[in-house]
Amino acid sequence: MILGLFIYLPLALLGCVAASPNGWDRVQACYAEELPPLRANPMAREIPWGTPSVHFSSLNGTLSTCCESLDGVREALDEIDKQFLELLNRRMAYVQEATRFKHTRESVNVPARNKQIVERAKREAVRLGMPVSVAKAVYETVLKAGIRFEECIFDEYEESCKSL
């Protein structure tokens, strides 16, 4: 589902300061539900810093890494963005469909259901090894936007029925 498409992992990793010699020991703090306090860091790094963190297995069993340049990273993110929007479009179509089964505008927003969805996303983030804070923030935003969209659908449909 959408969890596999979080495009913000590289940005989250870049926003964390790794102070240990091997570069990534402290990054684990960036995978929690709440991010550690961010601090200014005037240190300039040799580019690229750290070691590649995205690994792929090829069909012949060799391991390759992404990416050789920032442009390569951006190309991959652009492709993921496209897939993310396609899935988000599909999700919003189902949100619209859900509106047909709601009797009142108040039944559009179901906080207990929203909490259940966010909690499931956080558990899935842990299973996938992605930042829980990103999963939580993305799902809360998607749900909030979906509620507004569904309220609009509900209101507009109701208005169109009044004119019949």
CATH number, domain of 113, equals 1.20.59.10
Q: Is residue 20 part of a domain?
A: yes
Q: Is residue 40 part of a domain?
A: no
Q: Given pLDDT bands bounded at 50, 70 and 90, which one contains residue 60?
A: low
- Computed over every residue of the chain, the mean pLDDT equals 80
State yes or no: pLDDT of 25 exceeds 70: no
CA 99 to chain centre: 24
Q: Is residue 41 part of a domain?
A: no
- The residue type found at 100 is R
What whole-number distance in Å separates Cα of residue 143 and Cα of residue 2?
Answer: 12
Q: What is the domain count for the chain?
A: 1
Q: Is residue 112 part of a domain?
A: yes
Average pLDDT for 29-58: 75
Q: Is residue 123 part of a domain?
A: yes
What whole-number distance in Å separates Cα of residue 156 and Cα of residue 143?
Answer: 20
| Burial readout 61-75 (b: 16 or more C-beta within 10 A, e: otherwise) | eeeeeebeeeeebee
Domain housing 90: 2-35+48-162
